[in-house]
Amino acid sequence: MNFFRKYRIPIIVGLFVLGALAYFSFSAGKGVERIPAGRYLLEVTGPVQRGITGVGQWFNSIWRHYFALVQASEENDRLKKELAALKQRTVDRDELELANRRLKKLLEFKKDLDFPMVAAEVVGTDPSAQFKTVIINKGATDGVQPLMPVVCAQGAVGRVVWSSPHYAKLLLLIDPNSGVDVLVQRSRARGVVEGAADGELRLKYVIHTEDVRLGDKVLTSGAAGVYPKGVLVGTVSDVRQGPGGVFQIVQIDPAVDFGRLEEVLVLLHRRQLDQ
């Protein structure tokens, strides 16, 4: 009873509206405009019906907008996935093209060397900083043995220090423990190239009377039996007189970019003194 007293006006109005709507529904086919009471009710309830219709249209518009947003979000996600896949295909294509170029250079270089050899990929580096070494994916089952020289299309890389059945470790030319007998292409001056701590190469034991100039090409001499003769080692980048004036201090820029080494050739021969 208290509830009815508190909300009697809204309840009465609501009942009136519901009754009017029911009346119009019942009288729809009888020509409501012909009934005097119907015209009065139409005038009173028209705004209410218009409001109800407007609210319904508003909810319908919100619902359509929601579904449009959902569809747009799904379409956006689909386009993002397609774009990512397209970018990856582009990267894969570029990588394949670069790999083909490197392999082509490697095969051309291989034709110039009259040695049996096996191609390999660099698959890892030594985690320790003590030695400059890399791991390749060919080993003893492929004929790879310690002391075998390793080259790439740019020039001398290093030598094998040990091998397992399917992998091998290479000591790079830039390691201080590495040494190769070489000659200067232009003047035929001889010496030994060793790695330096800064990643460069040093040409040692070159007498001060030898003619060595900036830009000279340095090649393997073949004298020590590890490398064949004529493999490019690097280019002279600095020449100075050493202490005492007996030997020259010659710095060489390596022909190989060891930081980007990916494919190599292992020459399947060993030093004569080990055979």
pLDDT tens, residue by residue, 190-238: 999 999 877 789 999 999 999 999 999 999 998 877 888 899 999 999 9
Handedness of CA 35, 39, 44, 48 (dihedral sign): positive
With cut-offs at 50, 70 and 90, classify the pLDDT of residue 49.
low
Looking at 11, 44, 60, the residue that finishes a domain is: 60
Q: By three-state DSSP, how is residue 113 classified? A: coil
Domain boundary pick from 15, 39, 60:
60
Burial, 272: exposed, middle or buried (Cβ in 10 Å; 0-12, 13-18, 19+)? exposed
Query: Tokens in use for 92?
Result: 């894969």
Query: For residue 215, is it within any domain?
Result: yes
Domain count, the chain: 2
The torsion angles phi and psi of 194, rounded to 5 degrees, stand at: -130, 155
What's CA 244's distance to the chain center, in Å?
51
Report residue 19 as tokens. Answer: 């009754």
Res. 66 pLDDT band, cuts 50 70 90? confident
d(CA 159, CA 274): 15
Q: Which amino acid is at 85?
A: A
Q: What is the pLDDT of residue 214?
A: 96
| Structural domain boundaries enclosing 44 | 2-60
125-175 per-position pLDDT tens digit: 875 666 789 999 999 999 999 999 999 989 999 999 999 999 999 999 999
Does residue 27 fall inside a structural domain? yes
